Structure 1
């Protein structure tokens, strides 16, 4: 693997959706081993940025690199690259007719030639890592929201990806479950030597585990620094976002946000 100190690097990236510029001139370094929180209001372009990291969206300009290599466009090369990136989807994406263990086994069955006993052992290890080994034979409908999120996390970790991307990991969770998920993200990042990017609008829940914070608004990055620097910022735009104020430099434009499909 490339010895570059950055797991992810974006250089002057421009991202378009439906012919509309969503993000412009975005540059960002995500150091290996760090937890970076990508924050911003709904419609600001957070999920569009995520799509560029996974190769789902080809930038209109600039360069996106993962572990020192540009995100490929060729199908086979892109599939190989994605094995090194685990994504926890906002809606979990669990298959309802499969058990917890069967859901976690899916990536291993699809991308490896490992024998069934080895896959079963790996699935048990991943479920143990998220505290759900006893839930292996349950179905998704039998899980609480927090448990389902942890199963989805175990599945995202199945191939041991060095980079994890979390897409709004706290959506729909109560405060206790949210605390469990954020604590788990931090513990897994440290014990497994991962690099994590958390795409979220949940500022106060995410800051305690983050090393670096980025705020996206008005088509670009408006803040980049430590959580302490974020809290101390006097920038009117940053303060509006942190305080949830309806009036300020960040325009509340639901029609524009919907058009961009960039929550």
Structure 2
């Protein structure tokens, strides 16, 4: 087992390509265990590409990616084992429409464990209770509000008790009240379950209050890494343009693709 002081995530000199286009370069990042880290940046900046590298979906063109104390493997069997320790909340929820909330949450348990049904039912009840939706167990996704569906998806992501949670734009499509509920839930679960959380988002003001650390991605690189307070006080033009929502500045609204160096 990795030591507790080993970062939950470590990236060193990472370059990530999509075809002939370099999306991110020279990425160095450490995410301490037990922390909530916000990965911020404008749409199209490469936040989801970074997430793909953490889950092993995208192999880095250069550098190393370590998750939970080990280098992200490329062999399918080892990668599957690593992924069991990573809970991912997708921005589209990914709930199966013909399954109830309880059946959606039970799905990872039935696929990846040999637990008896009574135990699975009890675990599902516990996960739904953790997100405040035990009473919605028998509802189908079409019967849930946007915020409720997001919480069911969160319960499913927690089903296998992963030590690392990654949230991909968790506030997309939610109203301000539902957004507040989700962010409060993320913070509470991180503390009570001893998780490490990475929130990939462009919702700055909703995310920073629950974050311990923040990084900002722009122009294919990390342009800021520090505490939320340091971020708010930054005078860097790239950071200020993003935080203040300015249309003109060093971050191009429609940047030309960056070709990979020969």
TM-score scaled by length of structure 1: 0.96
Residues 92-131 of structure 1 aligned to structure 2 (within 5 Å): 92-131=93-132
| Aligned counterparts of 1:41 and 1:18: Cα–Cα separation in 2 | 21
Counterpart in the other structure of 2:152? 151
| Aligned counterparts of 1:239 and 1:231: Cα–Cα separation in 2 | 9
| Aligned counterparts of 1:8 and 1:255: Cα–Cα separation in 2 | 30
The answer for unaligned runs of 5 or more in structure 1 is: none
Counterpart in the other structure of 1:187? 188
| Aligned counterparts of 2:141 and 2:201: Cα–Cα separation in 1 | 24
Counterpart in the other structure of 2:88? 87
Per the TM alignment, residue 175 of structure 1 is displaced from its structure 2 partner at its CA by 0.2
Q: For residues 181-234 of structure 1, what are the alpha-carbon distances to aligned partners after superposition, in whole Å with 9 as ceiling and x for unaligned?
A: 000000000000000000000000000000000000001000000000000000
SS in 2 for 1:214: strand
Counterpart in the other structure of 1:212? 213
| Cα 1:150/1:254, change in 2 over 3 Å | farther
Q: For residues 155-175 of structure 1, what are the alpha-carbon distances to aligned partners after superposition, in whole Å with 9 as ceiling and x for unaligned?
A: 000000000000000000000
Counterpart in the other structure of 1:49? 50
SS in 1 for 2:247: coil
Per the TM alignment, residue 255 of structure 1 is displaced from its structure 2 partner at its CA by 6.8
| Aligned counterparts of 1:255 and 1:92: Cα–Cα separation in 2 | 31
SS in 2 for 1:6: coil
Per the TM alignment, residue 144 of structure 1 is displaced from its structure 2 partner at its CA by 0.2
TM-score scaled by length of structure 2: 0.97
| Aligned counterparts of 1:5 and 1:60: Cα–Cα separation in 2 | 24
Counterpart in the other structure of 2:31? 30
Q: For residues 18-45 of structure 1, what are the alpha-carbon distances to aligned partners after superposition, in whole Å with 9 as ceiling and x for unaligned?
A: 2210000100000000000000001100
Greater CA drift, 34-43 or 246-255: 246-255
Q: CA RMSD in A?
A: 1.2
Per the TM alignment, residue 68 of structure 1 is displaced from its structure 2 partner at its CA by 1.5
Per the TM alignment, residue 5 of structure 1 is displaced from its structure 2 partner at its CA by 2.8
Please tell me whether residue 2 in structure 1 is matched to residue 18 in structure 2.
no
The answer for unaligned runs of 5 or more in structure 2 is: none
SS in 2 for 1:49: helix
SS in 1 for 2:94: coil
Counterpart in the other structure of 1:238? 239
| Aligned counterparts of 1:21 and 1:254: Cα–Cα separation in 2 | 12
